[in-house]
Amino acid sequence: MSRHEAGSQAGSLLLRTIRSGTSGAEVFLLRQPGGATVATKVTRNPRVSSSVQAQRHAVMAKHFASHTPAVLGTATEAALDVIVTAAPAVWSLDEAIARVGPTPELYLIWQDVVNTLVTVWRSTAEPGFDPTRATRNHDLRCRRGHQGLEDVLTTDLGPPSRWLSIMINGSDMGSWFRAFEQLLVVGRPDSHITCHGDPHAGNVLVASDGTWHLIDWEWSGDHHDWRMMVSHLLGSWYVRDLLDHASGTASATPDRLVLDYAIGETPRLRQFGIPAADAFRRMTTPARTEQDLSDVARYVALLLLREIPRAVLAGRRHLIAPLLGECIRLTTGEHSNHPAIRLLKAPVGAAR
């Protein structure tokens, strides 16, 4: 199936074309002659092939049957990888919030998504988390993040290995090497759990009847660290806030990186982060809370790091300083005072 054919199946009406910034995929929403709507996702050289995505979909369908649209077919031709799935809705929760605002109805849907995920975490938890068997490997993700930083910042700011002192709003936070070493180190949870591996509002479809559906099963699996999943449920809102409201400058001398920035408002985090905070408190134990907070902080830091190449490639250089600065603050011990981590500690409702 060629890219052109994927977008114009005979007799179908093309409702929407979505170009994803993250995987580089194109998704065609097609209303078929019989009335059903399908999503045809076409990716060049995907990190996870469509046949493996279909297997991971099966893991999700076992636990989230009514929330998992069916896979209708997969194909690989030349370097193009295609997966066709049922499309129970046209808009994601993220898009719905952008269109109509953060309504109470949309908040309740997000809360139900998180509660349903946590119920599955608790029912599938098994002792023996092994990072080498984890569906998402923290070490590998960090190294990709580091590579991305080198690729997009070296020309302007020198290679990260030369940042021996990083000044964040006037405070010396030490070298990038030290921060990166700390980012790599996370403790092990007591158990591994089954989860959708990329739970953010762009991967939740909302239908007009109020039902919700998980899509994008690339990283779904039964060997996840629940603290990493909390970092996605929480950090994805923080990332959105930073992209919308943060701004600053980044400059370099031969051995020093200077980041000056303001975070701005964090309305999404403060509202939509609440269910993630509830999830955290349901999963942690008093003896483990400090370690769990520190590990969630590092996982959130990694999400910020991974946003930097996208921001630079989109010409949004004012985001370099806040994304990198907050990544370092969350990693190097200042996390307990950080707005995202403070939310996890606050009693339910306190931050509303």
Ligand X SMILES: Nc1ncnc2c1ncn2[C@@H]1O[C@H](COP(=O)(O)OP(=O)(O)OP(=O)(O)O)[C@@H](O)[C@H]1O
- Answer whether 7's CB lies under 8 Å from 15's CB: no
Nearest-approach distance from CB 92 to Mg ion, in angstroms: 8
What backbone torsions phi and psi does residue 330 show, to the nearest 5 degrees? -70, -25
Specify the DSSP element, H or E, that contains 30: strand 26-31
Q: How many CA atoms lie within 13 A of 326 on its CB side?
A: 32
- Answer whether 325's CB lies under 8 Å from 304's CB: no
Binding of residue 148 to ligand X (CB under 6 A): no
Binding of residue 32 to ligand X (CB under 6 A): no
> How far is the C-alpha of 28 from the C-alpha of 123, rounded, in Å?
35
DSSP secondary-structure letter at 91?
E
Binding of residue 220 to Mg ion (CB under 5 A): no
Binding of residue 225 to ligand X (CB under 6 A): no
Binding of residue 216 to Mg ion (CB under 5 A): yes
Binding of residue 169 to ligand X (CB under 6 A): no
Specify the DSSP element, H or E, that contains 86: strand 80-86
> How far is the C-alpha of 93 from the C-alpha of 205, rounded, in Å?
6
Query: 135, 182, 194, 203: which one contacts ligand X (CB under 6 A)?
Result: 203
Residue count at the site for ligand X (CB under 6 A)?
19
Specify the DSSP element, H or E, that contains 193: strand 191-195
Binding of residue 94 to Mg ion (CB under 5 A): no
215 or 242: CB nearest ligand X: 215
Can you tell me whether residue 273 is helix, strand or coil? coil
Instruction: Choose among Mg ion, ligand X, none what residue 283 binds, the Cβ cut-off being 5 to 8 Å by kind.
Output: none
Query: 39, 173, 228, 328: which one contacts ligand X (CB under 6 A)?
Result: 39
Nearest-approach distance from CB 253 to ligand X, in angstroms: 36
Site for ligand X in 47-106 (CB under 6 A): 69, 85, 87, 92
- Contact positions vs ligand X (CB under 6 A): 18, 20, 22-23, 25, 27, 29, 39, 41, 69, 85, 87, 92, 198, 202-203, 205, 215-216
